[in-house]
A and B are shown apart, each in its own frame.
Chain A
Amino acid sequence: MADINKLAHMFKELDDQLVGCMKCGMCQAVCPVFAQSGRETDVTRGKLALLDGLANEMLQDPEGVNEKLNRCLLCGTCQANCPSGVSVMDIFLKARAIMTGYFGLSPAKKAIFRGMLKNPKLFNSLTSMGAKFQGLFTKKVDDMLGSSCARFNAPVIGDRHFNTLASKPLHKIVPELDTPAGKSGIKVAFYVGCVIDKIFPQVGEAILKVLDHHGVGVFMPSGQACCGIPALSSGDTDTFDTLVGINMERLQSGEFDYLVTGCATCTATIKELWPRMYKGNSALKYDLAQLEKKTLDISQFLVDILRVESKEIKGGRGVTYHDPCHLKNSLGVTAQPRTMIQAAGCDFKEMAEAGTCCGCGGSFNIAHYDVSKKIGSRKADNIMASGVQTAATSCPACMLQITDMLSQKNAKMDVKHVIELYAESL
């Protein structure tokens, strides 16, 4: 462990970004974690002040600061609403990397990121073993939602209602694909992402069906790795760089006009974090910047490029939509998924606070399940109050959280990816 002065010196590098915060406190209005706790250390202004305190050697307890720093969903709502335009996500990710460099990665995270994520083949075979044996530990609670809970008291699972690993992940159903452009004259690369591959392969299949329907050629290389966000948000920049490298090597082996994903988080990571946070092979920098321009969320691709339009509704099923943070706050994509729901012939109903975080926040859900659950519970209440049968969204991580929350409330509704609704209507 380096000494605290050295740590202060490392944080000093963030000074130019930290000084942009005028401490107006407007982030208190939008932070979902602060809304639950009312604690200044939970809101961005407080966290930035703590980092500033470390940089200027006013604080002696980096461990305390690190703990507060991790009580954040990285939802980006504060940044999207910040009057002085502070690059909050950039600061937080850099700060987490500095902290991880100082404290080291926890043994569990080391095993997951460096042992498993860095090696996509091993990751695949471990999860497929998991899929075979999970029935021993879990039982179904809601067939409609497809959720399960623990059979006996299990420490990580707690009282969660979760979606189990798919018996057949997408890479087993469709190992790889390289089809030419059809009537649309367009060919896309399909980046699958871990959660769609291993938990919601049906979302991946829906995307492939829709692309085929519209005559879009698909390049889906095998051996795709995780996008790297879990590693980066835990400050593990080494693993992040390795994963970006693996993915780029796979993607650069084919030709395509656009890259599409069905995961809001993967899209935002590829567009915003790959070009800015990758510190590996400098020759890749240009390619990452080019890829950024080509990357689109699936609804964005269908509406903005293929010009899919909403249909006249004739008593279709009632559907509401939850805005994933990584689409709304990071990329400003809000209209296109709603158009897709209407293009599927569904009766769309806007819910209250559609743009508020569901509380998942990736590993935040694991480390701070109590806060995560409170935020998610409010989301579930808003969904249920909208009086629909189906909650749709555009991010598989949000799907996991919303399924857990609705299942615990015995809501008798289902949770779908927007693209599943559209694929069903074709």
Chain B
Amino acid sequence: MTKDAIVKEFEAIAGAENVMTSETDRHAYSYDAAVLDSVMPALVVRPETSEALGGVTKLCNDNGLPLTVRGAGTNLSGGTIPHPGGVVVLTNGLNRILEINEEDMYAVVEPGVVTAQFAAEVAKRGLFYPPDPGSQTVSTLGGNVAENAGGLRGLKYGVTKDYVMGVDFWDVNGEIVKSGSRTVKCVTGYNLAGLMVASEGTLGVFDKLILKLVPPAQAAKSMMAIFPSMKAASETVAAIIANKIVPATLEMMDNFTIRTVENFRGAGLPVDAAALLLIEVDGHPAQVEDEAAMVEKICKANGATELKVAKDAAERDAVWQARRDALPALAKLKPTCVLEDATVPRSKIPAMIEALEDISKKLDLTIGTFGHAGDGNLHPTILTDKRDKKEWERVEKGIDMIFDKALAMGGTLSGEHGIGLAKSKYLERETSRATLEYSRRMKSVLDPKGILNPGKIVGPKS
């Protein structure tokens, strides 16, 4: 088919107003939030119905066109950067919440529903959808499932995969594949829904998601503990867990991040503190009281110099505002901000912190460290200017060293940001040659023409 004829086909399926081919429109879908080069797609299409989504998938396959599904484009590993000359399929025209079932505690949604809007809708019905990735005010549930997005509540409540009960998706032939169910238990066939989680658009195109909901905690208590060293703070994290307490959130900030946040907001953070822990316990009111008292004791036993417990909602908000400010405050310091998410078993947090300080000194890089200490998922944030070629070389070297350290400690390349384009070359290092080959064979059978988000996770077709 000629290019014009293909465009007409897309228009016939999705409607002429939903097919974009101008240079300006295509350029606006050539990037995501990863610090990577942009790639121009040939066409952008925005299906508004399930049938149109299936039709678009089939049309791409029939014509061998690479297809990249895009929600809000907030990906930090390049998973939504299109393939050269490929098609970008937008999901924000498919943003309906189809069902919220209060009796059976699940919801059925289209992939383009915005995470925070969904969580708010669920909360209105007295239920709770815990995954809260940093981009939740714009990110889509389809994107969250495709990336297995995490968030602040990972330690106690788990991540997106723990809330996926089923995924209906289009295969490359435009046939609907159903997986999972609306029941708590289900062993019908392969766990294809599980396969779709973190598949980054390389195995199928999501049509509908069935998500698990839970009852919300009745009470919560937040506190901020101040430490004279990162070591003392990270040992406290390990001690809290060792005492069989699982806080809903357990976040850490280093001195550089504390100073930057204080400079940004002026909320009265202790700028001399070497480290901060932000902790929230939730559950039954009696349990919350109990656990808060124990956490306080553990913090003090491990050298906390000060502990502030939020007395009301306003004080609680202030605690979490400090954490929410971490990334924006750091981002304002330098033009480019590389946010990493290498993750280690939480007992290795003190060692990882030490390694990061070492890398920062050795390569003369500015690294602010904050993150989900409770689940071992730190966010070392390298501040730089990508136009400074010499420094950028050191940044790339630093990223390599962070991965090496994390893997040496039995950790993983990515806790929650995905592999995408940015980390596919490191995949074999964490897994094995056979793992990579197995994954590639699987993909080549399910997607013989290699149209589904090529280059992501398993790298270029070999």
Interface residues of A (CB under 8 A from B): 16, 19-20, 22-26, 28-29, 38-41, 46, 49-50, 53, 58-61, 64-65, 67-68, 83-85
Instruction: Let me know if B337 is at the binding interface, CB within 8 A.
Output: yes
Contacting pair B92 A59 (CB below 8 A): no
Q: Which of B29, B46, B336 contacts A38 (CB 8 A)?
A: B46
Q: Which of B23, B38, B92, B137 contacts A26 (CB 8 A)?
A: B137
Contacting pair A40 B28 (CB below 8 A): yes
Interface core residue of B29, B116, B328 (most chain A CB under 10 Å): B328
Contacting pair A41 B72 (CB below 8 A): no
Instruction: Let me know if B331 is at the binding interface, CB within 8 A.
Output: yes
Q: Which of B28, B46, B327, B336 contacts A49 (CB 8 A)?
A: B28
Given A22-B336, A25-B74, A68 contacting B24 (CB threshold 8 A): yes
* Shortest distance from the beta carbon of B19 to any chain A beta carbon, whole Å: 12
Given A40-B73, A84-B337, A23 contacting B32 (CB threshold 8 A): yes
Contacting pair A19 B28 (CB below 8 A): no
Q: Enumerate chain A residues within 8 angstroms of B72, measured Cβ to Cβ.
A: 25, 28
* Shortest distance from the beta carbon of A196 to any chain B beta carbon, whole Å: 36
Contacting pair B337 A25 (CB below 8 A): no
Q: Enumerate chain B residues within 8 angstroms of A19, measured Cβ to Cβ.
A: 335-336, 385-387
Closest 6 CB pairs of A and B: A83-B328, A40-B28, A64-B24, A29-B137, A46-B28, A84-B331
Contacting pair A38 B27 (CB below 8 A): no
A20 vs B386: C-alpha distance when bound (angstroms): 11
A23 vs B74: C-alpha distance when bound (angstroms): 8
Q: Which of B116, B328, B385, B386 contacts A84 (CB 8 A)?
A: B328
* 11 A-B contact pairs sorted by A residue (CB < 8 Å): A24-B331, A38-B92, A38-B93, A40-B73, A41-B28, A49-B30, A50-B28, A59-B23, A59-B24, A61-B24, A68-B24
Contacting pair A38 B335 (CB below 8 A): no
- How big is the B interface, by class? 20 to 34
* Shortest distance from the beta carbon of A332 to any chain B beta carbon, whole Å: 14
Contacts A38-B90, A40-B28, A85-B332 supplied; 20 other A-B pairs, CB < 8 Å = A16-B335, A22-B35, A22-B331, A23-B32, A25-B73, A26-B135, A28-B72, A39-B25, A41-B24, A46-B28, A49-B28, A49-B30, A53-B27, A59-B24, A59-B27, A61-B23, A64-B23, A67-B24, A68-B24, A68-B28
* Shortest distance from the beta carbon of B322 to any chain A beta carbon, whole Å: 15
Instruction: Let me know if B186 is at the binding interface, CB within 8 A.
Output: no
A25 vs B115: C-alpha distance when bound (angstroms): 14
Contacting pair A22 B23 (CB below 8 A): no
Contacting pair B387 A60 (CB below 8 A): no
Instruction: Let me know if B33 is at the binding interface, CB within 8 A.
Output: yes
Q: Enumerate chain A residues within 8 angstroms of B336, measured Cβ to Cβ.
A: 19, 22
Q: Enumerate chain B residues within 8 angstroms of A25, measured Cβ to Cβ.
A: 32-33, 72-74, 135, 138
Interface core residue of B35, B46, B73 (most chain A CB under 10 Å): B73
List residues 316-356 of chain B with CB under 8 A from any CB of chain A: 327-328, 331-332, 335-337
A23 vs B37: C-alpha distance when bound (angstroms): 12
Q: Enumerate chain B residues within 8 angstroms of A53, measured Cβ to Cβ.
A: 27
What residue in chain B is nearest A46 (Cβ atoms)? B28
Contacting pair A20 B335 (CB below 8 A): yes
A46 vs B90: C-alpha distance when bound (angstroms): 15
Instruction: Let me know if B22 is at the binding interface, CB within 8 A.
Output: yes
A39 vs B336: C-alpha distance when bound (angstroms): 25
A85 vs B386: C-alpha distance when bound (angstroms): 18
Q: Enumerate chain B residues within 8 angstroms of A60, measured Cβ to Cβ.
A: 23
Contacting pair B24 A65 (CB below 8 A): yes
* Shortest distance from the beta carbon of B305 to any chain A beta carbon, whole Å: 30
Instruction: Let me know if B227 is at the binding interface, CB within 8 A.
Output: no
Instruction: Let me know if B370 is at the binding interface, CB within 8 A.
Output: no
Q: Enumerate chain A residues within 8 angstroms of B332, measured Cβ to Cβ.
A: 84-85
Instruction: Let me know if B106 is at the binding interface, CB within 8 A.
Output: no
Instruction: Let me know if B31 is at the binding interface, CB within 8 A.
Output: yes
A16 vs B30: C-alpha distance when bound (angstroms): 21
* Shortest distance from the beta carbon of B91 to any chain A beta carbon, whole Å: 10
A28 vs B73: C-alpha distance when bound (angstroms): 10
Q: Which of A16, A23, A24, A50 contacts B24 (CB 8 A)?
A: A50
* Shortest distance from the beta carbon of A83 to any chain B beta carbon, whole Å: 3
Q: Enumerate chain A residues within 8 angstroms of B46, measured Cβ to Cβ.
A: 38
* Shortest distance from the beta carbon of A50 to any chain B beta carbon, whole Å: 6
